A and B are shown apart, each in its own frame.
Chain A
Amino acid sequence: MSAVPVIVGYVLREALRRRVFAVVLILTIVFLVLFWIANHYVHSELGKLRVPPDVPVDARTFASAFLSGLALFATMFLGVVLAVFLTLGAVRGDAERGLLQPIVVRPVGRSTFLFARFLGAVAVTAPYVVVVDLAAVVITGVTMDWWPDRIVTPPLEVAAGVAVVTALSLLGSVFLSSTANGIAIFMLFGAGLVAGLLGTIGHAIGSTAIKHASTVASYVTPFEALYQDALRQLTASTSGLTGFLLQLGPFGGAYVHGWPVRLWAVAFFCLVGAAALSGFRRRDL
Chain B
Amino acid sequence: MPAALAVRGLAKRYGTVEALGGVDLDVTEGELVGLLGPNGAGKSTLVKIACGLIRSSSGEAKVWGAPAGSRSARRALGYLAELFRFPGWMSADELLTLHQRLSGSTGGERERTELLELVALREARGRRVETMSKGMQQRPGIAQALVGTPRLLLLDEPTSALDPVGRRTVRTLLEELRSRGISVLLNSHLLSEVELVCDRVVILLAGKVVAAGTPAELARARGVELDTDGGKRMVDGTRDDVPRIVAEAVARGERVYGVRVLTSTLEDVYLEAVGGETS
Residues in chain A within 8 A of chain B (CB atoms)? 2-3, 6-7, 10, 13-14, 17-18, 97-99, 101-109, 282, 284-285
Q: Which residues from chain A contact B104 at a C-beta distance below 8 Å?
A: 2, 107
Q: Are B89 and A105 in contact (CB under 8 A)?
A: no
Write out the residue numbers on chain A whose beta carbons fall within 8 Å of the beta carbon of B71.
107, 109
Interface centre among B48, B72, B89, B98, by most chain A C-beta atoms within 10 angstroms, is B98
Bound together, the chains give a CA A102 to CA B141 distance in angstroms of 9
| Contact A3–B54 (Cβ < 8 Å) | no
A106 & B81 in contact (Cβ 8 Å cutoff): no
Chain A residues, CB < 8 A from B77: 105
Q: Is the Cβ of B87 less than 8 Å from the Cβ of A17?
A: yes
A99 x B87 contact (CB < 8 A): yes
Chain B contact residues, CB within 8 Å of chain A: 14, 48, 51-55, 71-72, 74-75, 77, 79, 81, 83-87, 89, 98-99, 101-104, 144
Contacts of B98 in A (CB 8 A): 6, 10
Chain B, Cβ-Cβ closest to A17: B89
Contact of B102 among A17, A18, A106 (CB under 8 A): A106
Asked, given contacts A3-B102, A106-B103, A108-B102, whether A101 binds B55 with beta carbons under 8 Å apart, the answer is: no
CB pair A99–B81 under 8 Å, yes or no, is no
What CA separation (Å) do A264 and B231 show in the bound complex?
A: 91
Distance in angstroms between the alpha carbons of A18 and B75 in the assembled complex: 31
Contact A107/B85 with A6-B98, A282-B55, A284-B54 known, Cβ cut-off 8 Å: no
When chains A and B are docked, how far (Å) is the Cα of A14 from the Cα of B129?
14
Separation in Å of the A245 CB from the closest CB of chain B? Answer: 52
Q: A285: nearest residue on chain B (CB-CB)?
A: B53
User: Are A99 and B74 neighbours in the complex by a CB distance under 8 Å?
Assistant: no
A104 touches B53 (CB 8 A): yes
Q: Cβ of A102 and Cβ of B74 under 8 Å apart?
A: no
Docked Cα-Cα span, A2 to B100, in Å, equals: 12
> Can you sample 17 A-B contacts with CB below 8 Å?
A2-B104, A6-B102, A14-B89, A98-B81, A99-B85, A104-B53, A105-B51, A105-B74, A105-B79, A106-B102, A107-B74, A107-B102, A107-B103, A107-B104, A284-B48, A284-B53, A285-B54
- CB A101 to nearest CB in B, in angstroms, measures 5
Q: How far is the CA of A106 from the CA of B87 in the complex (A)?
A: 17
| Distance from B153 Cβ to chain A, minimum over Cβ atoms (Å) | 12
Residue on B nearest A284 in the bound complex, by CB: B54
Contact in complex: B84, A98 (CB < 8 Å): yes
Residues of B within 8 A of A105 (CB): 51-53, 74, 77, 79
Contact B81 A14, beta carbon cutoff 8 Å? no
Give every chain B residue within 8 A of A102 (Cβ-Cβ).
Answer: 79, 81, 84, 86, 99, 144
**Which residues of B are found within 8 Å of A6, using beta-carbon distances?**
98, 101-102
CA distance A102 to B74 in the complex (A): 11
Residue of A nearest to B95 (CB): A102
A17: B residues at CB distance < 8 A: 87, 89
Residue in A3, A109, A284, A285 whose CB lies within 8 Å of B101: A3
- For B81, the chain A residues whose CB sits under 8 A away are 98, 101-102
The distance from the CB of B246 to the nearest CB of chain A, in whole angstroms, is 57
Q: Is the CB of B87 within 8 A of A14?
A: yes
Q: How far is the CA of A102 from the CA of B77 in the complex (A)?
A: 12
What residues of A have a CB within 8 angstroms of the CB of B89 in the complex? 13-14, 17-18
How far in angstroms is the closest Cβ of chain A from B160? 14
Nearest first, the 9 closest Cβ-Cβ pairs linking A and B are A284-B54, A17-B89, A106-B102, A98-B85, A6-B101, A107-B75, A285-B53, A98-B83, A107-B74
CB distance from B43 to the nearest CB of A (A): 15
Q: Within the complex, what minimum Cβ distance (angstroms) separates A112 from chain B?
A: 10
Closest to B101 in A: A6
Q: Are A101 and B53 in contact (CB under 8 A)?
A: yes
Known A17-B87, A97-B85, A101-B81: A106·B99 in contact at CB below 8 Å = yes
Chain B nearest Cβ from A16, distance in angstroms: 9
**Nearest chain A residue, comparing its CB with the CB of B156:** A101
Q: Which one of A17, A97, A99, A107 has the highest number of Cβ atoms from chain B below 10 Å of its Cβ?
A: A107
